[in-house]
Amino acid sequence: MKIYYEDDIEMDVIADKKIAVIGYGSQGRAQARNMADSGLNVIVGVRSGGNSWNMAKEDGMNVMTIEDASREADIVHILIPDEIQATVYEQSIEPYLTEGNTISFSHGYNIHYGYIKAPNGVNVTMIAPKGPGAMVRRTYLEGFGIPGLVAVEVDATGDALDIALAMGKACGFARAGILETTFKEETETDLFGEQTVLCGGVTELIKTAFETLVEAGYQPELAYFETCHELKLIVDLIYEKGFTGMWKNVSNTAEFGGLTRRSRIITQETKKEMEKILEEIQKGEFAKEWTLENKAGRPMLKRMRELEVGLKIEKVGSKLRKLCGLEK
């Protein structure tokens, strides 16, 4: 495992290059501002006259259309949503790429699954923070940063890794450390983590535990506190101290109960299902499913969003978050 820190990275390789950040959402805004504040020549490429255009202008950024930014830039850093990247790339970026340019990403999805292909002579790199855009910006301003990942899919110029690392350093990632990986590894582990733990697994666990208590006759408000509200406290402990540190900070009763019962919740059958999900990701089956969902207008996602809003735990949670001052 190779980890790069600030002293390992030279900035000269991109000192005279123009970097177009395509998209000005959470990551686009944070990374563009960090690189600009680090002294790089940054252009923001967005749709003319939209909210992102106005926001970037207000932030003092050099703003252009995606086409003009791509034409001007030596490095095109694509930070728009996965599902629209291929179309935007084909229509507004690829026609303006020339030999020696670099296309860069913060997620390997479209490169790994073949939805975006670079012309000959163009570098394909990735520099990805392991945290949301708000944290990327906040930690940078605080004089630190969050860890990042770096990968090179195509090294057409012989210095693609140096270019990507310099961008990561400018964003503040090298202050915490930049881990070298591949597009394949980053994409597949990222999707797996989202689906089985971070977004899919944890919400289903919370929802099912909440429903179990409510159906057994317990107050919904108490069920929410026990299965959802307090989760942040435990996750924060694990984040800061690991599993063993967390166990030391809960009661002996909680430790014994958790250690003796957890394998009854996450069983070998659960692990087998996780392996199936990973296989779907590795074979590109999930990517194909997501592509078809978008082509159809996202009917399944829209329906699932409607169902999620209607869940009892959401209604109870909204009321309690307002009482706790977490939600207006």
Cα(41)–Cα(74) distance, integer angstroms: 10
- Token readout for 240 is 């800061």
Among residues 77, 107, 112, 229, the one annotated as catalytic is 107
Residue 26 in marked binding region: yes
Crossing angle of helices 285-295 and 268-282, in 10° steps, is 70
Confirm whether residue 92 is marked as ligand binding: no
User: 194 labelled as ligand-binding?
Assistant: yes
Q: Specify burial of residue 166 (Cβ count, 10 A radius: 0-12, 13-18, 19+).
A: buried
Q: Which of 124, 66, 65 has its CA nearest to residue 90?
A: 66
- 263 annotated as ligand-binding: no
Q: Is 251 annotated as a binding residue?
A: yes
190 appears as a binding residue in the annotation: yes
Q: In what order do the strands lie in the sheet with 41-45?
A: 3-4, 178-180, 148-154, 123-129, 102-105, 75-78, 18-22, 41-45, 62-64
Is 107 annotated in the active site? yes
> Residue 224 — left, alpha, or beta (φ > 0 → left; ψ -120 to 50 → alpha)?
alpha
Question: H helices of the chain, where?
Answer: 26-37, 51-58, 66-72, 82-88, 109-112, 133-141, 160-171, 183-193, 200-215, 220-224, 231-248, 252-265, 268-282, 285-295, 299-309, 312-323
Q: How far is CA 149 from CA 98, 226, 303, 320, in A?
A: 26, 35, 34, 37
Count CB-CB contacts under 10 A for residue 126.
27
The tokens describing 12, both together, are 């000269």
Q: Confirm whether residue 218 is marked as ligand binding.
A: no
- Specify the length of the chain in residues: 328
3-state secondary structure of 105: strand
CB 61 within 8 A of CB 36: yes
Task: Establish whether 226 is an annotated binding residue.
Answer: yes
Binding residues: 24-27, 47, 52, 133, 190, 194, 226, 230, 251
Binding residues for Mg(2+): 190, 194, 226, 230
Binding residues for NADP(+): 24-27, 47, 52, 133
Binding residues for substrate: 251
Q: What is the set of active-site residues?
A: 107
